[in-house]
């Protein structure tokens, strides 16, 4: 098929990527360790390691996993940590010995942990002491026999870490547990890296079991191979080559590394590029994040719409008004135009929107960095990526027509773990069906209209929640909005809006009736009648995923 979007590529971006002689993610990162040996690799909570120091820690922990615990190539290791040094060391060490990483959200409930650990068959887990009590509840239902426990202070100098650990225990911030496990810190200090034997790794070996968010049913493990992840790393490097300098950027990592967006983009791609990663273990309150712009010369950051919206409404961020930013990328959910404009007015840098999904490692599309990009577009398919819009009859549609987005490329997963039937439903003839309603314009730019399952049908007319939410959020009193369909006797479904106000006190003093009237007028000016919300509900907060994506499905059951 013709890739018409190639005409819109800048001259520096290749049509296709090449793996060259690279054989794995580990192979790629080893080259970065050697090349950038003395440069800062990761900073977190005022502690910093160089690339050389990170490599030594990875080798030691890999040796511990291999020689003390007996972990072999293909074994699954759960990593249940926030954004701390220990995550980086654990992930890279596991990959180095050919183990399969099962990245786990530390905020998971015991029920969610049980499902993921049983489904993946993990036998080893690296976990922070803050969450061990939850593991204790369900470990007997799993195959886990090796538990490696770390503390938030383990990444700090000994005296500082001891003070922090003691203070947290005295304040009872670490829930009590009796489960015995290995000490992460002792594992690092006692293991002998010379004993490490690195197995032969191939591009088609599975590197990561990345579990989907469960927004479309039971959470499933997407099998991401070294080829898949490495392809996405090379694709991202290809599109940023002309605007970022290897070994000379400082990357703010607010999104959690256990989420595939931050894992592939912030962590693996920028680490392979020799950049300095700033990890944020606890980004809220927002001052935890904004202060880093004063502490470091941040040049790159990624985020989701809700993060940028929170920054825009933060007095501390407006006061700092960082001027060092070069590239800012949004994904995970639709970027609202008013959020982008406000962010650019504060920083002088526009937010570049991209698109992806867990099953694609995750990025498939992104707008040209610093390009004059169409409003609302997710951009162009990455190098070596094919994309098409398909109608309900399976026919490929023309530019301007709306249908389901399907993608194909080296970043597309090998399949779902132990779910062949669901793999065949998702991937047909090499094409992955995203479940997103989209269109493509004449220049090859793609636009997500909405999730197919989120579409609202009002008297036979399609209403896409993201369009209505965009209008609602442009109202000066609205901080966040979410839209769903609710049953309606006359029209089948009606639009209902959930609103978070910038001034939450308005709810308490009974101003919502007048605000509702104003919102109705506001929507009537911008939307066709059937798209306007019939019902409004005001809330102090909206349910969100671990990366800040608003969860409409949870609003449907409340």
Please name which of 125, 113, 288 lies closest in space to residue 278, comparing C-alpha atoms: 288
Rounded to 10 degrees, what is the CA torsion of 278, 284, 286, 291?
Answer: -40
Cα–Cα dist 67/192, whole Å? 9
The span from the CA of 104 to the CA of 33, in Å, is: 26
pLDDT at 157: 81
d(CA 311, CA 315): 8
Q: What is the DSSP string of 386-412?
A: EEEEE-TTSPBPPTT--EEEEEESTTS
Enumerate the CATH 3.40.50.12780 domain ranges in the chain, comma separated: 276-454
What single DSSP character describes residue 372? -
The per-residue pLDDT for 460 is 66
pTM score, whole prediction: 0.86
State the pLDDT at residue 455. Answer: 82
Residue 139 confidence (pLDDT): 98
Residue at token pair 């799993």: 142
Tell me which residue of 548, 547, 551 sits closest to 263, measured CA to CA.
547
Tell me, what's the pLDDT at 143?
98
Residue 213 has a pLDDT of 60
Per-residue pLDDT of the chain (558 residues; tens, 9 = 90+): 899 999 999 999 999 999 999 999 999 999 999 999 999 999 999 899 999 999 999 999 999 999 999 999 999 999 999 999 999 999 999 999 999 999 998 988 888 899 999 999 999 999 999 999 999 999 999 999 999 999 998 988 877 777 887 788 778 889 999 999 999 999 998 898 888 999 999 999 999 999 986 434 468 999 999 999 999 999 999 999 889 999 999 999 999 999 999 999 999 999 999 999 999 999 999 999 999 999 999 999 999 888 999 999 999 999 999 999 999 999 887 888 999 999 999 999 999 999 999 999 999 999 998 778 899 999 999 999 999 999 988 899 999 999 999 999 999 999 999 999 999 999 999 999 999 999 999 999 999 988 777 888 887 677 888 889 999 999 999 999 999 999 988 788 899 999 999 998 887 767 889 999 999 999 999 888 889 999 999 999 999 988 888 999 899 876
Q: CA geometry: angle at 204 spanning 198 and 208, to 5°?
A: 75
pLDDT at 215: 39
**DSSP characters over 455-493:** -EEETTEEE-HHHHHHHHHTSTTEEEEEEEEEEETTTEE
CATH 3.30.300.30 residue ranges of the chain are: 456-556
Please tell me the class of the 276-454 domain.
alpha beta
Residue intervals of the chain classified under CATH 3.40.50.980 are 23-201
Question: Is residue 272 within 8 Å of 284, Cβ to Cβ?
Answer: no
DSSP code string of 209-246: EEE--STTSS--EEEEEHHHHHHHHHHHHHHHTTT--T
CA of 462: how far to CAs of 20, 84, 147, 435, 470, in Å? 47, 44, 50, 16, 16
52: left (phi over 0), alpha (psi -120 to 50) or beta: alpha
**CATH of segment(s) 23-201:** 3.40.50.980
With a CB cutoff of 8 Å and minimum separation 6, the contacts of 34 are none
Reply yes or no on domain 456-556 having CATH 3.40.50.720.
no
């Amino acid at each position: 098929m013709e890739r018409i979007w190639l005409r819109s590529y800048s001259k520096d971006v290749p049509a296709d990527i090449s793996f060259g002689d690279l054989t794995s993610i580990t192979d790629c990162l080893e080259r970065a360790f050697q090349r950038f040996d003395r440069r800062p690799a990761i900073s977190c909570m005022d502690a910093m390691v160089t690339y050389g120091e990170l490599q030594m820690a990875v080798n030691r922990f890999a040796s511990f996993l291999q020689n003390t615990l007996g972990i072999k190539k293909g074994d699954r290791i759960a990593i249940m940590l926030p954004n701390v040094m220990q995550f980086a060391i654990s992930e890279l060490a596991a990959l180095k010995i050919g183990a399969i990483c099962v990245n786990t959200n530390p905020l998971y409930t015991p029920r969610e942990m049980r499902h993921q650990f049983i489904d993946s068959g993990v036998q080893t887990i690296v976990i922070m002491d803050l969450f061990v009590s939850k593991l204790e509840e369900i470990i007997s239902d799993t195959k886990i026999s090796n538990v490696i426990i770390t503390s938030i202070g383990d990444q700090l100098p000994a005296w500082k870490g001891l003070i922090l650990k003691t203070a947290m225990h005295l304040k009872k911030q670490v829930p009590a547990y009796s489960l015995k496990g290995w000490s992460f810190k002792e594992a690092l200090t006692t293991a002998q890296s010379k004993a490490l034997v690195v197995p032969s790794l191939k591009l088609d070996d599975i590197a990561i079991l990345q579990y989907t968010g469960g927004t479309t049913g039971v959470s499933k493990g997407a099998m991401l191979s070294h080829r898949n992840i490495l392809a996405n790393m090379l694709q991202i490097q290809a599109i940023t080559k002309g605007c970022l300098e290897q070994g000379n950027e400082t990357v703010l990592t607010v999104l959690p590394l256990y989420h595939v967006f931050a894992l592939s983009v912030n962590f693996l791609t920028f680490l392979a590029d020799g950049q300095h990663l700033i990890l944020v273990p606890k980004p809220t309150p927002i001052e935890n994040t904004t202060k880093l712009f004063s502490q470091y010369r941040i040049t790159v950051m990624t985020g989701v719409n809700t993060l940028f919206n929170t920054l825009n409404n933060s007095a501390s961020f407006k006061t700092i008004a960082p001027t060092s930013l070069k590239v800012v990328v949004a994904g995970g959910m639709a970027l609202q135009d008013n959020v982008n404009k406000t962010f650019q007015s504060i920083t002088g840098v526009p937010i570049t929107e991209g698109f992806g999904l867990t099953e694609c490692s995750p990025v498939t599309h992104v707008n040209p960095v610093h390009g004059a990009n169409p409003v609302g577009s997710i951009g162009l398919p990455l190098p070596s990526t094919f994309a098409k819009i398909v109608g309900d009859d399976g026919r490929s549609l023309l530019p301007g027509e709306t249908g389901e987005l399907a993608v194909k490329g080296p970043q597309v997963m090998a399949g779902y773990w132990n779910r062949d039937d669901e793999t065949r439903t998702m991937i047909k003839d090499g094409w992955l069906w995203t479940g997103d309603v989209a269109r493509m314009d004449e220049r090859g730019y793609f636009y997500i209209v909405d999730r197919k399952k989120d579409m609202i049908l009002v008297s036979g007319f399609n209403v896409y929640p993201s369009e209505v939410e965009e209008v609602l959020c442009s109202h000066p009193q609205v901080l966040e909005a979410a839209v769903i369909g609710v049953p309606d006797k006359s029209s089948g479904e009606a639009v209902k809006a959930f609103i978070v106000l910038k001034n939450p006190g308005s709810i308490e003093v009974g101003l919502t009736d007048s605000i509702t009237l104003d919102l109705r007028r506001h929507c009537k000016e911008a939307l066709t009648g059937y798209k306007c919300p019939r019902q409004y509900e005001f809330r102090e907060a909206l349910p969100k995923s671990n990366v800040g994506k608003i969860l409409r499905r949870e609003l449907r059951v409340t």
